Amino acid sequence: MLLVSDFPEWFLVTTAVSLGLVFGSFLNVVIYRLPRGENVAFPGSRCPACGSPIRGYDNVPVLSFILLRGRARCCRARISIRYPLVELAGGLFAWSLLDLLLLDRAGDTPFGIGAALFAAYLALGLGLIAAAFIDVEHMVLPDEITMGGALLGVVTAPLRSDLAAVASAPWAGTLAPLGAAAVAWGDSVFGALVGFLGIWLPFDLLYRHLRGRTGMAQGDAKLVMLAGAWFGWPGALFALVAGAVQGTLGSAALLLTRGRIEEPPAVREERAALRAAIEAADGEERAALQAELDGDPLGTEPDPGALQTRIPFGPFLVLAILEYLFFGPALVARYLDWALP
């Protein structure tokens, strides 16, 4: 049987990091197109400034940005630093994942299982990175990522829990670092249910009844459900608590350094575009568009005053979920040691 250790470490690292960089480059397309309702696969990459197609040799992750000194070849427009940063995040995440799942383990993982495991967690991490950036820019967490990611967590739980069940296998050393991160299928479904019933549903009902519209917390609740699907109810609880603490600290830091938190420009533009469409339409179409605006939690300007500021919660939740993936089991063990001496 082909084992992960049959391959030299430099080969595994190079392959993983290259995959992470290339998918990170694709993430930039996802971050731009998904919230705008465009197809993420076609057409190929285009310059965000002038729309010219980008050639393959100008689309090499990170390297092209450095060689072109941060400007597009077609029209010399400035390229946002976000592009190479997202690519780097993809590469770094893939490397950390390889280290967590497969490298430096006492035993050997069969290559097929290792590759499937790596692919599943890579998809999770890339989806979370995309969700964080989309939320910062548009204050929206797309269902494709939150619901799709939760589904992936439930579907891959048997693969991940099989690993836990065969902890006595010779390559069981691979499992130790995963700890709580490897959950049984039942725990995965239960964790997702806790996220759904305990957070999403109450938030949704509350907002509908109090405000007459669905809450903007809905996407955040779905993200907590995703954490439950991947890591069981302790993962959902950790994401919620750590996310809230980090969100509070983050908002406080932003308020202290900037004085106030501005709404992202894209949110203002989307609201303005919808209002313009309402002005231009009439009859049934106008009523339908007006209903869309009324039902949109971002449909009105934020109330003035720092404490009413809208701040995306998604990035803080994403951070908490990634923390749980890499450090969760160790953190929980430390906490239990301290709380239950």
Site residues (vs Zn ion, CB under 5 A): 47, 49-50, 52, 72, 74-75
Looking at the Cβ atoms of 33 and 286, the one nearer to Zn ion is 33
In the complex, the smallest distance separating the C-beta of residue 24 from Zn ion, rounded to whole angstroms, is 21
Tell me whether residue 64 or residue 109 sits nearer to Zn ion (CB atom): 64
> Among candidates 171, 74, 64, which has minimal Cα distance to 113?
171
Backbone torsions φ then ψ of 71, nearest 5 degrees:
-125, 150
* Count of other CB atoms within 10 angstroms of residue 155: 13
Read off the amino acid at residue 195.
Answer: G
Q: How far is the CB of 73 from Zn ion (least distance, A)?
A: 8
Closest contact distance (angstroms) between CB of 48 and Zn ion is 8
CB-wise, 52 or 300, nearer to Zn ion? 52
- Alpha-carbon distance of 274 to 263, in angstroms, equals 17
Instruction: Tell me phi and psi for residue 53, to 5 degrees.
Output: -60, 145
Given the complex with Zn ion, which of 32 and 93 has the nearer CB atom? 32
CA 234 to mean position of chain CA atoms: 19
- In the complex, what is the shortest distance from the CB of residue 30 to Zn ion, in angstroms, rounded to a whole number? 20
**Nearer to Zn ion (CB atom), residue 50 or residue 155:** 50
By beta-carbon distance, which residue lies closest to Zn ion?
47
- Compute the least distance from the CB of residue 46 to Zn ion, in Å: 8
Give which of 324, 330, 331, 309 is closest to 128, Cα–Cα. Answer: 324
117 vs 105: CA distance, rounded Å? 15
Residue 54 CB, shortest distance to Zn ion, in Å, is 8
State which residue, 49 or 152, has the beta carbon closest to Zn ion: 49
**Closest approach of Cβ 74 to Zn ion, in Å?**
3
The phi and psi torsions of 331 (rounded to 5 degrees) equal: -65, -45
Least gap, CB of 47 to Zn ion (angstroms): 3
45 vs 96, which CB is nearer to Zn ion?
Answer: 45
- Please tell me whether residue 46 adopts helix, strand or coil conformation: strand
**Residue 72 vs 332, nearer CB to Zn ion:** 72
In the complex, the smallest distance separating the C-beta of residue 32 from Zn ion, rounded to whole angstroms, is 14
Helices 82-101 and 111-138: crossing angle in degrees, nearest 10, is 150
Q: What are the helix (H) ranges across the chain?
A: 9-33, 63-67, 82-101, 111-138, 143-165, 185-195, 201-211, 217-258, 265-280, 283-295, 314-339
Phi-psi region of 179 (alpha: psi -120 to 50; beta: other; left: phi over 0): left
| Residue 3 backbone phi and psi in degrees, to 5 | -110, 155
d(CA 116, CA 242): 29
Whichever of 49 and 261 has its CB closer to Zn ion, that residue is: 49
User: C-alpha distances in angstroms, 334 versus 243, 269, 328, 341?
Assistant: 19, 47, 10, 10
